[in-house]
Amino acid sequence: KGTHASGQVISFDLAWRHSTEKLTVALNHHLPLDIAVREVTVVPDDFHPRFGASFRRYKYRFYTAPVRSPIDSRWAWHVPVPLDVDAMQRAAAHFVGSHDFKTFGSAPDQGGHTVREVLHCSVQRENGTVVS
């Protein structure tokens, strides 16, 4: 809870003789209402959506109120006590830079590494939630 996928990239092979715009419309016609294709792009055969990403962005939402919100519960983690956003922002600054995240995931593929560079990390209040 508290984080959701947005802007995901997928890749698949398809024999399609029409425009990418028509493929976007066709895909969205068959997808459930909570999933939508925003753009279709032709890519090289060796493209890989996971390994070809130049960066990733994560957003975490915390709903801070004594009583949970049925509407916000889908998008935010309910924390029933106030959060010290200033202290969280000071702590977030320590994430910026290169760090080894080995303990947070599985072993990398041969030749891979677990060091990642965090370009930005912030915490602020936004529409009744705390967002990081």
Per-residue model confidence as pLDDT tens digits over 17-26: 999 999 999 9
On the question of pLDDT at 32 being above 60, the answer is yes
Give the per-residue pLDDT at 95.
93
Q: Which residues contact 33 (CB under 8 A, 6 or more apart)?
A: none
CA angle 103, 104, 110 (to 5 degrees): 75
Looking at residue 119, what is its pLDDT?
Answer: 94
Distance CA 110, CA 97 (A): 24
Q: Is the pLDDT of residue 29 over 60?
A: yes
pLDDT at 1: 52
Residues in the chain: 132
**In which band, very low, low, confident or very high, does the pLDDT at 121 lie, cut at 50, 70 and 90?**
very high
Per-residue confidence band for 97, with pLDDT thresholds at 50, 70 and 90: very high
pTM to 2 decimal places:
0.69
The whole-angstrom separation of Cα 39 and Cα 25 is: 10
Q: Radius of gyration of the chain from Cα atoms?
A: 19
User: What whole-number percentage of the chain has pLDDT above 70?
Assistant: 96
* Mean pLDDT computed over every residue of the chain: 89
Predicted local confidence at residue 89, as pLDDT: 94
H-helix segments, 3-109: 20-30, 85-92
Question: Domain-by-domain residue ranges, the chain?
Answer: 1-53, 61-131
Report, at the CATH architecture level, how domain 61-131 is classified.
Answer: 2-Layer Sandwich (3.30)
Distance CA 6, CA 35 (A): 10
